[in-house]
Each structure stands twice: as structure tokens, then as C-alpha cells.
Chains A and B, each alone.
Chain A
Amino acid sequence: MIPVNIVTGFLGSGKTTLLREVLGRPEYADTAVIVNEFGEIGLDHFLLEEVEEGILLLQSGCICCTIRSDLQETIRSLQKRAGDGLIPKFRRLIIETTGIADPAPIVSTISSDPLISKHFYLANIVCTVDGLSGASSLASAPEAFKQAAVADRILVTKSDLTEIDILVKIEKTLRHLNPTASIQRSSGAEFDTKHLFSQDVFVSNAEAEDVLTKLDRHLKGSASIQDPLKILHDISSFSLEFPGSIDWIAFGVWLTATLHVHGENILRVKGILNTRESAEPVFINGVQHTMHPPIHMDRWPNGERTSRIIFITRGIKKDIVQRSLHAFLSAADKEYRQNELADLTTFRT
């Protein structure tokens, strides 16, 4: 299986600089890159061409639902050509989005296309945020805000050109927006490429533990703090806790129905579940309509067997999500108790 990293970030936030730096390192020599040409001049293409061969340009301007088939075709073609020996075999794929693209459809393409999902999996979503102008982009452009909301890794760029108090402020906003994402600073070259790219979010136990630590910090600390930018874009980041074990089947019924209607406004779901069907914790992770296969964690961190889920939503408040999930889980609990009673009765007779 080939890991796929999505590099997103608003216009001019440093995506290409990041890619140039990463692709120049020997450990990323066998990486294929798909860039998206936006506008008449494929500037990104020219910048990257010297670094990495095998860059493919999508024909349409933006990676979104309308051209998702382009991305499908491009990934399939890339893999076929590598298989046929026409281009070198690659062990990682990076997709760079345009500055105003929504990364969610790309996630969906990788996960839902039957042929692609057999050979590729989403490793993580990296978002660059301009240290200098990021605050104004986040305030004025919903696209920039959403890119940061769905990211697993956020790189605040141009840190050498930005005053420290501005950096601290933008990092605080990003932490309120996306509490479980890792945030780093970069002045162009100094950043941890391994953490940004090689550490896979959707398959790693260590990553699940890291997310959980951040989730707990969010539950205990800044959960109630509201950031002005979040209010401006009607974004909520909230966590739910459920003591005792929950019914995985009921949870799946609830989440699939909820995502079907509200997936566009449920930007991220991450959490750890204490399910009846598993003695160990189950880690879940999703981006809008796309949920990834659950991960089996080795042990319960801190021994606390409590289900904890974090949601980043747009226009959806905590109280209705809590009421709704509780209703579905209660219905399953009722069935469970009735079945237990029936089993007992059978045993006694």
C-alpha cells in the first residue's frame, strides 16, 4: 500500500516551498507528486519540475468534486505507468492542492475509489498557514479556515519574517480551531519532515495516542474558550465523553446517517471508543463524509476506559449532537439489556 499525503494551504502560504524542501531530501527521492495547475500559468509545475520528475498536471483548475475523475485517472495512470516500467516505481504520493481547494474530495477519492483504495491509503493532510498573512486569510477566506480545520499537521510558515506575538496568536487560533492537529513553525527549511509526512495518521497507534493526549487537553482546558474567528465562520470544536462501553453497531448506524445529511458541515471526527465488541480501545478518524477504517490501539492510555470523541463542525452545536448520539446508543442499550434478560431466563428454565 502506498501512502498519500495531501498538501493544502491558502494562496501563497508556502506549499511549494515546503514541497521543494521535502523533495530535495534523499529519503523522499521515490516520491511521486501530483500538482494542480491553477490559472493559465502552471507556476507550481515549473518550480517543482527541476526537483522531481513524473509530476502530472491536472487539466482542470481546481481539485474539487467536479474534476474528481481527473484525479482518479491521474492516480490510476501514475500507478499503471510505474507498473509498466514507463516511470520509476514510487513509494509515496504527494498531492498538492490549489490555494483555494477543498481537500475533502481528494480524501474521498482516495478512500472510495475501489481501485485506488486497494493500492493507496491516506497518510495525512498537511496544511501550510502563512505566519505573516495567515490571520487575515483565516478571517476573510472560508477556504483557508477549512483547510486548517481538516488538517492533521499544520505548518506555520515564514516564522523568520513574523513577530513572535503574531506567531503565538495565530497558533492559538489554530489550536482552538483544530485541537488535535500538530502545529509546527517553519522558516523555509527547518521542520520535521518525518513528523509532517512519514508518520501516518490513519494507521498508526502512536498517532492515535498523540491525538488522544491532545483531545484530553482540550477536554480539560480550553474546550469552552471561543475564538472570534471560529464565531465568524460558525465553526465549533467540541468533545463528547461517554462512560461505560458503547455499542459499535449503533454508533455506526448513527454516524453514517449523520454524515449522510450533515457530512459537509462535520469537518472532522476523531476519537477513541470503548466498544462492547473490543476489549481494547478503538480509534476512529474521519474527514467530512469519509470515515477511515478504525484502528485497534494496544492499550488504554491512563487506564481510563471512557469513550471520547472530538468534532469540528460548521453550524452544528454540541448539544444536538450529544442528544442525538445518546438517543441512538440508548436504543441499543435497551436491546442489549433485554437480550441479557432473555439469556438469563433461558438459562434458568
Chain B
Amino acid sequence: MCGLCGLLGIDHWTETSANAEVFSGDIERSIRHERAHRVLLLNKALAPVRMKARDFQASSYIISSSTGRSEIVHDIQALWLAVEKMGSKPVDPLSAEYLDQLSKGQP
């Protein structure tokens, strides 16, 4: 994670808490609920590349590989880069092969 981002408290555009004025609908999720939901969806997306994500204190995400390597990232944009840095092939949502694996829910 970038220390400066943490220091300045910069939230990613996908975080609804960063754009509270936008997301004021009927289904208001708490920050914990929102992050739990994101982690669940991230794990579905990461399954084809055999990686896992989990929330870290509602401020960061920890990504880990099947060999036990792990890295902490500030937001989901950084997460995709970390997947590649940890030696995996990238999660490519526009790859037909990836989408086939995603629909099966397994690598």
C-alpha cells in the first residue's frame, strides 16, 4: 500500500463511502457489509487464478496465493496489480477462457 495514500486518506472511486452523496438509496450497506460483499465477489473473480482476498480492518485487502504468499493492498485497483506481481497470470475479464472458468466457479 502507498503510505501517502493511507496518510491522506484517499478512497478509491469504487468505495461507496468515498462517494456518500451518490449512494443514498434504499439498500444502504454498512462499510463492513459492503466490504464483505466486495470480498465475496473478489474471491469469485480470483478463483480461476487460484488466489484469495480478505478484508483487513475495513481499510485494506490482503491477497494470498495458493503457495501462501500474501500481500496487503489499499484498494481493488492495486489488488489486480498485486495478483500479477505475485506471479499469477492476470485476471482478464475479457478472456473467453477466464469467463468459462468463472461460470463454472472453479479453476
Q: Which A residues fall within an 8 A CB radius of B?
A: 114, 117-118, 248-250, 252-262, 275-280, 282, 291-296, 316, 320-321, 323-325, 327-328, 331-332, 335
Give the nearest-CB partner of B27 in chain A. Answer: A276
**Minimum Cβ distance to chain B for residue A334 (Å):** 9
Residues of B within 8 A of A117 (CB): 10
Residues of B within 8 A of A321 (CB): 94
**Minimum Cβ distance to chain A for residue B105 (Å):** 9
**Minimum Cβ distance to chain B for residue A331 (Å):** 5
Contact of A279 with B24 in the complex, beta carbons under 8 Å: yes
- Assuming the contacts A249-B37, A250-B41, A324-B99, asked whether A258 and B94 have C-beta atoms less than 8 A apart, the reply is yes
Contact of B81 with A260 in the complex, beta carbons under 8 Å: yes
Given A254, A275, A291, which contacts B13 in the complex, CB threshold below 8 Å?
A291
Chosen A-B contacts, 28 in total, with CB atoms closer than 8 Å, are A114-B2, A114-B4, A248-B14, A249-B14, A249-B38, A252-B13, A256-B77, A257-B80, A258-B94, A260-B77, A260-B80, A260-B90, A261-B80, A261-B91, A262-B94, A275-B23, A275-B25, A277-B23, A278-B22, A278-B24, A282-B23, A291-B13, A292-B13, A324-B93, A327-B93, A328-B41, A328-B45, A335-B41
Residues of A within 8 A of B62 (CB): none
User: Main SS of the interface on chain B?
Assistant: helix
B88 in the interface (beta carbon within 8 A): no
A24 to B34, CA, bound (A): 50
Q: Which B residues fall within an 8 A CB radius of A?
A: 2, 4-5, 8, 10, 13-14, 16, 18-19, 21-29, 34, 37-38, 40-42, 44-45, 76-77, 79-81, 90-94, 96, 99, 102-103
Residues of B within 8 A of A259 (CB): 77
A282 to B23, CA, bound (A): 8
Give the nearest-CB partner of B29 in chain A. Answer: A277
Give the nearest-CB partner of A118 in chain B. Answer: B8
A257 to B44, CA, bound (A): 13
**Minimum Cβ distance to chain B for residue A12 (Å):** 36
- Assuming the contacts A248-B23, A292-B13, A323-B99, asked whether A331 and B44 have C-beta atoms less than 8 A apart, the reply is yes
- Assuming the contacts A249-B37, A253-B45, asked whether A327 and B22 have C-beta atoms less than 8 A apart, the reply is no
Give the nearest-CB partner of A259 in chain B. Answer: B77
Contact of B96 with A320 in the complex, beta carbons under 8 Å: yes
Residues of A within 8 A of B34 (CB): 249
Contact of B23 with A278 in the complex, beta carbons under 8 Å: yes
**Minimum Cβ distance to chain B for residue A62 (Å):** 25
**Minimum Cβ distance to chain A for residue B32 (Å):** 13
Residues of B within 8 A of A276 (CB): 25, 27
**Minimum Cβ distance to chain A for residue B14 (Å):** 3
Interface centre among B18, B21, B22, B29 (most CB of A within 10 A): B22
A332 to B42, CA, bound (A): 10
**Minimum Cβ distance to chain A for residue B38 (Å):** 5
Contact of A295 with B22 in the complex, beta carbons under 8 Å: yes
Contact of A327 with B103 in the complex, beta carbons under 8 Å: yes
Contact of B5 with A114 in the complex, beta carbons under 8 Å: yes
- Known interface pairs A293-B18, A293-B19; 16 further A-B residue pairs with C-beta atoms within 8 A, sorted by A's residue number: A114-B2, A114-B4, A252-B38, A252-B76, A257-B92, A259-B77, A260-B77, A261-B93, A279-B24, A292-B13, A296-B22, A320-B94, A324-B99, A328-B45, A328-B93, A332-B37
Residues of A within 8 A of B76 (CB): 252-253, 256
**Minimum Cβ distance to chain A for residue B104 (Å):** 11
A275 to B28, CA, bound (A): 11
- List 4 tightest A-B contacts by C-beta distance, closest first: A252-B14, A260-B80, A278-B25, A296-B22
